[in-house]
Amino acid sequence: MSALTMPHRGQNDRACILDILARLLTLGIGKFGMAFAKLVWSFKQLSHRLRALGCMHIWLSFVWLMMLALQVSKAEANELRAKAPAALELQAVPQVPMSLTEDVARYQNVRSAAVIDWLGDALLISTRFGDTSQLHVVREPLGMREQLTFAAEPIGGALAPHVEKPKRIVFAKDTGGSESYQLFLMDLATRKSDLLTDGKSRYTGVSFDPTGTKIAYSSTELTGRDTDLFIQSLGGERVIVQRDQGVGWYVEDWTQDGSRVLISRFVSVVESELYEVDLKSHARTRLLADQGAVSLGSIAYDAAGRKVFFVSFLDGQFERIYEIDLESGAVAPLSPALNWNVSFFTLSRDRNLLAYVVNEAGYTRTHLLDLASRQDLMMPKLPQGRMSNIRFNHDNSRIAFSFQTPVDQSDVYVMDIATQEVSRWTKSELGEIPAEQMVAPSLKHFKSFDEREIPVFVFEPPGDGPHPVLIHIHGGPESQYRPGFSSTFQFYVNELGIAVWVPNVRGSAGYGKDYVGLDNGYLREDSVKDIGALIDFIATQPRMNADRIGVMGGSYGGYMVLASLVHYSDRIRAGVETVGISNFVTFLENTQDYRRDLRRAEYGDERDPAMREFLESIAPLNRVERITSPLLIGQGLNDPRVPASESRQIFDALQASEVPVWYVLANDEGHGFRKKPNRDYWWYVVAMFLREHLLET
């Protein structure tokens, strides 16, 4: 080849590069969407072409770059390994990187335990070693846990008879989160369980008679709507105590001779009815009829069956314990007047001791009352936390209870009444989270639009900030956030650097009778205004970043998320809602029959034209054009409380408006995610969503 025809080095290089680019564009590598097989197929052709052009130096560089690209592609492929459980349907949700699952997993491998009852000198507890919570037995402090049930579905509750050495227990279980709980009788010797109920209706409110041979329960079996009351011999015979009287009925307690029972009807959080039924004559007597509308919490007979103890708002703002004399009808307070609610009480087996729990600003203070002397007995001082499920043993010498704090998960403890010594019977794992890394909340208060003070708990990351903020809104609405252990809160704080603010907006329980009613009916959006006031308050906190605020909540809290986005999308960067209400009218029309009247008492009756118009006017679904912040939605298909249609309709509306919205539907869940694989993946998606829409610029 002459010098006239030989290209110089620069011309040759340009020709090589243009040829490579043309072929790469043909293969689609420029979009990083290269198919490995296609690259291999053309590799030999490309090699021959580059050799012919005499540019081996570029060829070698190209080979090196391809090797690097393949390594990057391999790494990217590994990042996309996380697969959703088969029961989850995802829409508009990106794939979850494996690196994120590893970050979150350290906070998911956390266990907890709760006491159910005594089995002689052993304890029946609930804990999880697989994907769902099951029943176990523990026979000594920190002893080995012996598993009793191995169901695919979580056990929904259990009960042991109050006899010295129980031989049988009853437990409840539903399917797919439907809350149509079925009752099973387990023989503790053989571990064989028999179905006691029809396999399809809903059975709740179980209690044993004093002999342990009969159970009472409520069921929707007869009409699908009314909660009728039954007493069933464990040998099979059953009698109807009451039927066709509406919803909200429960058997509360038996006299020691088993001849009479107390039954109650729940109307609303501030109104219930109480009756006594003679099981022989079937005569029913209304108690407290002259007291007007009364709330009812714990209810029990005294040892002689002559008095009834109950928790109520009867004559003040806060719930306390009262007693009614069944012969005279006289009512008198039993516990002192406090500016906090009595949460519940439990009687000893001989009914001579009464343990009760006071809810002081969300934390537990426990009292033990000698009913003969009416004197408070000494109780050991426990850390700030929450106590639940108090159970006396058969000889009334010990109390078992569940206890948790914001920095330590729920476990089972036993207190010796005589010595005041407390022993720990379970020690649940914290996974890979260092205990010293746990963050406890502080309690703050802020003023709302009407100058009312609203309490809020704050979990704050270390460092000066300013920190992004996640406002977490509880459900209910007649509920209350009470500081307990949350591994997800700890993840947000420690791994994402997010400050978690948890308000108890108006309508929450625990702050007086008036406070719990401040969001009823036409006052519904006053609680949403509390969130607006909280955003204002956060903006005054130098350690908080008011430009990066997210909201999160479930059930009624899910409605609050949607309503907050309607009003404050310009100040909220992202929202996460699970099983939330998007329109109170469609919610009330589609919730399960046995719940509808109970919810109308809180939200309003959609059959009334004026109320219907109001509920439609505040529905987030009808104001979806005002939601401009990205939203993540989670829902269980079998939810009997908030139908899955509530989430679907807001998702469809937001998709039409082109607002970024992710949707996770669990086909084997109900009102939330109870199965570990589903729950784990949901929190992977939540973490990914918060990183993308709350944290990233």
Query: Which tens digits make up the pLDDT trace of 386-426?
Result: 999 999 999 999 999 999 999 999 999 999 999 999 999 99
Residue found under tokens 């907890």: 112
Enter the tokens of residue 333. 């307070």
Phi, psi of 435 (to 5 degrees): -60, -35
Angular region, 243: left φ>0, alpha ψ -120 to 50, beta rest: beta
Enter the tokens of residue 379. 């109780």
Rounded to 10 deg, the angle between the 9-27 and 36-52 helix axes is 160
Angstrom distance (rounded) from CA 197 to CA 101: 41
Enter the tokens of residue 50. 């580059």
Angular region, 389: left φ>0, alpha ψ -120 to 50, beta rest: left
Q: Please tell me the predicted confidence (pLDDT) of residue 21.
A: 43
Angstrom distance (rounded) from CA 118 to CA 137: 9
DSSP class of residue 486 equals -
Q: Please tell me the predicted confidence (pLDDT) of residue 432.
A: 83
Burial 640-665 (b: 16+ CB within 10 A, else e): bbbbbbbbbbbbebbeeeebbbbbbb
Phi, psi of 80 (to 5 degrees): -105, 25
β-partners of residue 453 are 447
**Helix segments in 449-512, DSSP class H:** 487-494
Angle at alpha carbon of residue 131, lines to 125 and 132, rounded to 5°: 40
Helix (H) / strand (E) element for 384: namely none
Report the predicted TM-score, pTM, of the whole model to 2 decimal places. Answer: 0.87
Burial class of residue 283 (count of CB atoms within 10 Å of its CB; 0-12, 13-18, 19+): exposed
Q: 325 with 301: CB under 8 angstroms?
A: no
Which strand ranges, in their side-by-side order, compose the sheet holding 133-138? 113-119, 122-128, 133-138, 146-147
Q: Please tell me the predicted confidence (pLDDT) of residue 103.
A: 86
Angstrom distance (rounded) from CA 125 to CA 112: 10
Angle at alpha carbon of residue 640, lines to 500 and 597, rounded to 5°: 100
Phi, psi of 625 (to 5 degrees): -65, -15
Q: Please tell me the predicted confidence (pLDDT) of residue 15.
A: 46
Q: 241 with 216: CB under 8 angstroms?
A: yes
Enter the tokens of residue 78. 């590994």
Q: Please tell me the predicted confidence (pLDDT) of residue 430.
A: 87
Closest among 573, 674, 669, 566 to 626, alpha carbons compared: 566
Enter the tokens of residue 139. 């026979």
DSSP collapsed to 3 states, 117-185: EEECCEEEEEEECCCCEEEEEECCCCCCCEECCCCCCCEEEEECCCCCCCCEEEEEECCCCCCCCEEEE
pLDDT tens readout for residues 181-212: 999 999 999 999 999 999 999 999 999 999 99
Angstrom distance (rounded) from CA 631 to CA 613: 27
Enter the tokens of residue 200. 């399809």
**Helix and strand numbers, DSSP H then E, in the chain:** 13, 37
pLDDT tens readout for residues 442-484: 999 999 999 999 999 999 999 998 999 999 999 988 899 999 9
Q: Please tell me the predicted confidence (pLDDT) of residue 435.
A: 84
Residue found under tokens 């219930």: 272
The SS3 of residue 7 is coil
Closest among 303, 301, 272 to 288, alpha carbons compared: 272
Q: 518 with 526: CB under 8 angstroms?
A: yes
Angstrom distance (rounded) from CA 491 to CA 106: 9
DSSP labels for 394-414?
TTSSEEEEEEEETTEEEEEEE
Closest among 153, 188, 151 to 168, alpha carbons compared: 188
Residues of the chain short of pLDDT 50, as ranges, are: 1-47, 49-53, 59-60, 63-70, 72-79
Angstrom distance (rounded) from CA 201 to CA 341: 34
Q: 40 with 63: CB under 8 angstroms?
A: no
